Amino acid sequence: MSAVQIGCMGIACVLLLAALRIPIGVALGGTAAVGVLLIRGQTAALSILGAATFDFAAHWTMTAVPMFLFMGNVAYHSGLATMLYRAARAWLSFLPGGLALATTCASAGFAATSGSSVAMAGAMSRLAVPEMLRAGYDKGLASGVVAASGTLGALIPPSIHFILYATFMETSVSKLLMAGIIPGLLTMAAYFGLVVIRTTLNPSLAPRTNDAVPMEEKLRLLAQAWPLPIIFIGIIGGIYSGIVTATEAGAAGSALALIVAALSGRLNRAMLLAVVKDTAGTTAAIFFIAIGAVLFSQFLTISRVPLVIGGLIRGLSDNLPLFLLMISVFYLVLGMFLDAVGLMLVTLPILAPAVSVMGIDVIWFGVIVVKFVEIGLLTPPIGLNLYVVTAAVKGQITFSEVVRGTSWFLYAEAVVMVLILSFPQLSLFIPNLMN
């Protein structure tokens, strides 16, 4: 059996194991270990697998992952996300679907300090869904807007997905983070439009609240919510100006979040322990999957499968729309069965040579990949945000109701995706200014 045949069997094996619900890190790492063993033998396999694992874990860029996760956990456990939601609710409650709009706005603000879509969906579920249900909102709309808005954490910097993509594709983390700003805001605007249109056409989905919030109260709540915008501006301003790298911005943002929590009187031993515990657990899970993906990438390189794929793609080198259509179908199908990080890290080793052959801007392609990963968080049967929201509001809303409510937001995602694919400058405008 040739190396290419072994590589193709390895890809099929990973997809099969993922369909059988084997942890994606185990599926990737195990398949890679067996594949390299078959192609190169035991000694070479142990050497390659050991070196690849160490090189990835010791990569300087990856230190940004725990830093951004730590920052987001501080923002959540210190109540900063709650204050932002209250301010957004006070200012937007008069609009059709005002509470749903406030949830989207607060999620976008929380995304600026989190970097984790799953963590954000869980936090906003406990915070916003009970409020919407008490106001008489439709269960599908209440849960769907939280599940969809949670995905903003994948685009709006800091984004763990962009850091992983940059590491694998050997490109600028800072430019990738900047590239996600306009698509992230565009996605938020699309969600806003969808909620307003639906609740205007069918007012029973979101009964209007009669709470008349005085201007003084609005300003007071807005003043309380100042820390998250300040942290976001500090991170983005530091990266854009070149004062700090993405990794240094994570450390600076974490320090700033701790200072804010201390000034607000919410920093204590119990909160700090909870933050460290959550950060360590999430970081370990991400690294476990990522290391498995690194090993799988090494296996594919040895098997020469990427070279074969690159050769097949050369025939499409003058037909970019067809290639992008194939990529779209590829990600939409796999997104139904793989978790977000696993989906991205499984596909990058396969698609990297194709991107090179087609001459596609690696930053723009990164936004496309992360956007499709974001959509995968909303598509059953493996859409992780759907399960997170269902678990967070256990007993109040069923999984089928969450799926029903979230499906409407896929229309908004389709519109945004068409715009990003059609107008690359939506992703590249800010990164190009950094040149």
Residues 167 and 27 in one domain: no
**Among candidate residues 249, 276, 303, the one where a domain is terminated:** 303
Residue 364 phi/psi, 5-degree rounding, is -60, -45
Same domain assignment for residues 202 and 288: no
User: Could you tell me if 254 and 299 lie in one domain?
Assistant: no
Q: Is residue 411 part of a domain?
A: yes
* Distance between CA atoms of residues 128 and 206, nearest Å: 14
Task: Please check whether residue 102 is in contact with residue 365, taking contact to mean a CB–CB distance below 8 angstroms.
Answer: no
Encode 326-351: b = buried (16+ Cβ within 10 Å), e = exposed: ebbeebeebbebbbbbbbbbbbbbbb
Q: 419 with 325, same domain?
A: yes
- Residue 30 and residue 3 in one domain: yes
**Which burial class, exposed, middle or buried, applies to 121 when counting CB atoms under 10 A from its CB (0-12, 13-18, 19+)?**
buried
Query: Is there a domain that residue 132 lies in?
Result: yes
| 147 and 256 assigned to the same domain | yes
Instruction: Print the domain residue range for 34.
Output: 1-58+284-303
Q: How far apart are CA 152 and CA 138, in angstroms?
A: 22
Both tokens assigned to 61: 């860029």
Q: Which residues of 286-324 are buried (b: 16+ CB within 10 A; e: fewer)?
A: bbbbbbbbbbbbbbbbbbebbeebbeebeeeeeeeeebb
Same domain, 42 and 70: no
Whether residue 279 is contained in a domain is answered as no
Q: 37 and 178: one domain?
A: no
Which residue, 364, 349, 359, is CA-closest to 319?
359
- pTM higher than the cut 0.75: yes
CB-CB contact of 313 with 53 (8 Å): no
Question: How many structural domains is the chain composed of?
Answer: 2
* Spatial separation of the C-alpha atoms in residues 364 and 427, rounded to whole Å: 6
List CB contacts of 420: < 8 A, sequence separation 6 or more: 183, 186, 367, 368, 371, 426, 427
Decide if 272 is inside a domain.
Answer: no
Per the CB < 8 A criterion, the answer to whether 305 and 349 are in contact is: no
For residues 361 and 298, state if they share a domain. no
For residue 79, report the phi and psi dihedrals to the nearest 5 degrees: 85, 10
Shared domain for 424 and 375, answered yes or no, is: yes
| 364 plus 377 within the same structural domain | yes
User: What pLDDT is attached to residue 424?
Assistant: 93
d(CA 189, CA 419): 13
Residue 276 located in a structural domain: no
Q: What are the pLDDT tens digits along the chain (435 aa)?
A: 788 888 888 888 887 887 777 777 788 888 888 888 888 888 777 777 777 777 777 777 677 778 878 887 887 777 777 788 888 888 887 788 888 898 888 888 777 666 667 667 777 787 788 888 888 899 999 999 988 988 887 888 878 888 888 888 888 888 888 899 999 999 999 999 999 999 999 988 888 776 677 778 888 877 777 777 777 777 777 877 778 777 787 788 888 888 888 887 778 888 889 888 888 887 887 788 778 877 887 787 788 776 676 666 666 656 788 888 888 888 887 777 666 777 777 778 778 777 877 788 999 999 999 999 888 888 876 677 887 788 777 778 888 888 899 999 999 999 999 999 999 999 999 998 876
Residue 322 domain flag: yes
Q: What pLDDT score was predicted for residue 362?
A: 92
In a domain, 12, yes or no: yes
Task: Please name which of 72, 82, 10, 100 lies closest in space to residue 405, comparing C-alpha atoms.
Answer: 100
76: in domain: yes
List CB contacts of 259: < 8 A, sequence separation 6 or more: none
Residue 223 CB neighbours (<10 A): 10
pLDDT at 183: 93
224 and 364 in a single domain? The answer is: yes
Is residue 283 within 8 Å of residue 70, measured between CB atoms? Answer: no
